[in-house]
Chain A
Amino acid sequence: MTSEENIIDAIVDLDEPTALRMADQLIKRGVDPVEILEKCRQGMSIVGKKFETGEFFLSEMIMAAEIFNQVMERIRPELTKNSTESKGKILIGTVEGDVHDIGKNIVITLLEAEGYTVVDLGVDVSSARFVEAIKEHKPDIVGMSSLLTVALESTKKTMDAVTEAGLRDSVKIIIGGGRVDPQAAEYIKPDAFTDNAALGVKLIKQLVRGEDP
C-alpha cells in the first residue's frame, strides 16, 4: 500500500499521529501538494458519508476536521503556488448574539475539503457585517449559523437586512444550527436549512449547482 492510500485510511480511522506522519513523508518525498490535498479530500469525503449514514457522530467529525486542518497547515504554503480552481464561494458566519462555532467550523472544513472557497466571518456577526461582506465578496451562498434558540431571531434580522439591502436575489441563503427546524425555516424563509453539518454541505452543493434543495 502506498502512503497516499494510507493517509486516506488514517484520516478515516481518526489516527492523527499516522496521518500527520504520512503527510510529512509525502511532502518530504516531493509529492505534489495538490495530490496530497486530493487524498485528504477523499478521506474527508468518506468521513462525511459516514456522518450522513449515522456511523460517525460529531466527535468523529470534529477529530477528522482537526486532522485535516493540520495537514492543510502543512501543505498550504506549497498549495498557494499552484492553486486549483474553486468550485464556488461560500460566505459563512455565526449570527449576532451567538458565539458557537463547532457546527460552522465542521461545515467549513468539509467545504474546503471539497474544493470550495470559504470566507469565514467568525462568530457574533452583525447583520450589517453580513451585508457588507456580501457586497465585498460576492459569494454564491451565504450560510448563517447559530446554536441558541434566541439566535433564530437574530438570523431572521440578518435575513431581513440582506433583503433590505437589495441583495436577497443575488445569493442563496442557508441557515444551520442545533435549533433550526422546519418551523424556524418557515419563519426565516431561507433557501435551505439544516441542523446537520454534513447535510448542510450537501445542500450547499445543490444550491451552488442551482438546484432547489
Chain B
Amino acid sequence: MTDYEELYRQRKERIHTATQLKEPDRVPVLGSFGYFTARYYGINNFEFLFNYEEASKAIVKTSVDFGYDTGAGLSTLGAMPLTLAFLGEYDGLVPGWVNGPVHDILGVRYARFPGRELSMDSPFQFIGEEYMKVNEYDALIADPQRFIAEKLLPRTLRNLADPGSPHAMATLFKWGEERRKSDEAGAKLSKKLKAYGFPGFTSGISYAPLDFIGDFMRDIKNVIFDCYRVPDKVKQACEGLRDLIVEMVRISVEGKPRGSIQFIPLHLNEYFSPKMYAEFYWPTLREVVEEMIKLGVTPELFYEGQHKAHLETILELPKGKTISKFEKTDLKAAKEIIGDHSCIIGGPPSSLFFSTPEKIDTYVKDLFSDVKEGGGFMLSPGVTVPEGAPAENVKALMDAAVKYGVY
C-alpha cells in the first residue's frame, strides 16, 4: 500500500530543496495539466469550468494516474481588478479570479467561456480591449483603487454596468455566494490531493503593474503607444498600482505561515527591448517582487514568451528568494546566467506532447544534461500539457524525469 503521507513529505521536501537552489533526491516535476485534465477524464471544457464536483474528480484522477510531484488544478482566469477594487474593504475576495459560474454572474467582458460565447470544448479566452482612454491616466494616478472600482468594473462587467442599481447589488450578493461555494470546493480538492500525497505549489497571484494596465485597462498595443506618447503618466500609474498590488499581497498572507509561493504571470516582457524594459516594466515589477519577499512570500515569476534579453535583470533580485519559470527562453542559457541565483522551472513546448514517448525521453535527457547539475531546477510542461495530448506522452515526461533526474 502506498504511504501517501510519506509521499507528500518527500514531494514537498523535493520542491523545497530545489527552490533553495540545492540538489534534491531527483528533479521535481510540477503538474500543469490545464484542459488535458478534462479530456483525459472524459468531460468537456464547459463542465471542467462550471461543475466543481466533476472538475475535482477529473483533477484527482489525472494527478494520481500520472503521479507528478504536484497535482492538477482548477482552471480559472486571473481577475486582478476584482481583487484590487475591494481591497481593504472585504478581504474574502483576495485573490480574485473568474471561473464559469462567476463569469455567468458578473458577465465578464474580457473573457469568453466554453458553453457560453464559445463551443463546449474551447478553452476560455481572454480578450484584451481598451477599457480606459489615454486621457484617463490622471484619474487613475489620483486614486487607483477608486478608478478600478468606479470606472473599470462597470466597464468590464456587464452586470455591474450600472453601479448601485438593484441588478448590480444583487450581482454582488450572487458573486459572494458563488465565491463561498467555489472556495469550499477548492479547499475540499486541496485536502483530497493532500490525502493522495500531493503538496500544493502556488497559493495566490500577483502582478506586474504595467501588465495590469496592458491586460485590463489599455490593451497591449495601446499601452505600448502610451510608453512613447505619455511616458511619465505610464510610470506614475505603475507606481500607484505597485502600492495597491503590494497591499494585496500583504493582506493575502496576513496571519498565515511564511514561505508561501505566489504566481506572477508576465505578459509584456517579451515585447520590450532591454531599454524599454528597464524604463517602464522592470522598476515597479522589481519593487513588487522585493516587497513580496519581505512579506515572506516566494514569488514565482512566469516569464512568458522569449525572455532571453532580460535574463540579467533577475540577478538584481535577492538570491535564492524567487522562482523563474520560462516558456520559450533557452533553458541552458537561463541556467548559465541565473542558475546560481533563482530556481528555474521549464520544460517541453506544448507541441512536443503530440510527438512520441521516445522524443520526450530524448528531450528530457538532453535538457537535464544542460540544467540539472547543482540543483535549483524543476521540470514542468512549458505552459501546460495541451488538451488532446496522448496519455502515453504525458506519462513519458514523468518516466524520463525518474530515469534521468536522480541526483
Q: Give chain A's interface residues, CB within 8 Å of chain B.
A: 14, 16, 54-60, 62-63, 66, 97, 99, 102, 148-150, 152-153, 178-179, 181, 183-184, 187
Contact = CB atoms under 8 A, between A and B. Distances in A.
A82 B350 CA distance: 49
A99 B127 contact: yes
8 contacts: A55-B273, A102-B220, A148-B125, A149-B386, A153-B388, A179-B351, A181-B349, A187-B354
Contact of A99 (B125, B352, B387): B125
Interface stretch (B195-203, B224-232, B251-259, B396-404): B224-232
Contact of A97 (B122, B221, B225, B273): B122
B350 A57 contact: no
Contacts of B97: none
A174 B225 CA distance: 29
A59 B276 contact: yes
B103 to A, nearest CB: 17
B221 A62 contact: yes
A60 B127 contact: no
Nearest to B228: A63
Contact of A183 (B127, B227, B349): B349
A54 B118 CA distance: 38
Contacts of A149: 350, 383, 386
A193 to B, nearest CB: 11
Interface string B244-286: 0000000000000000000000000011110010000000000
B273 A60 contact: yes
B386 A102 contact: no
Contacts of A183: 349, 351-352, 354-355
Given A58-B271, A187-B354, A63 B224 contact: yes
A59 B272 contact: yes
Contacts of A62: 221, 224-225, 271
Contacts of B383: 149
Contacts of B305: 178
Contacts, number: 63
B248 to A, nearest CB: 27
B71 interface: no
Contacts of B351: 152, 179, 181, 183-184, 187
Given A55-B273, A57-B270, A57-B309, 16 more contacts: A16-B229, A58-B224, A59-B227, A59-B271, A59-B276, A63-B224, A63-B225, A99-B125, A148-B125, A149-B386, A153-B388, A178-B305, A179-B350, A181-B351, A183-B351, A183-B354
Contacts of B228: 14, 16, 63
Closest 4 CB pairs of A and B: A183-B351, A57-B273, A58-B271, A149-B350
B347 interface: no
Contacts of A63: 224-225, 228
A183 B273 CA distance: 28
A56 B273 contact: yes
B13 to A, nearest CB: 33
Given A102-B220, A149-B386, A57 B272 contact: yes
B358 to A, nearest CB: 14
B73 interface: no
B337 to A, nearest CB: 16
B123 interface: yes
Among B123, B349, B350, B351: residue with most chain A CB under 10 A: B351
B4 to A, nearest CB: 33
Contacts of A97: 118, 122
A181 B328 CA distance: 10
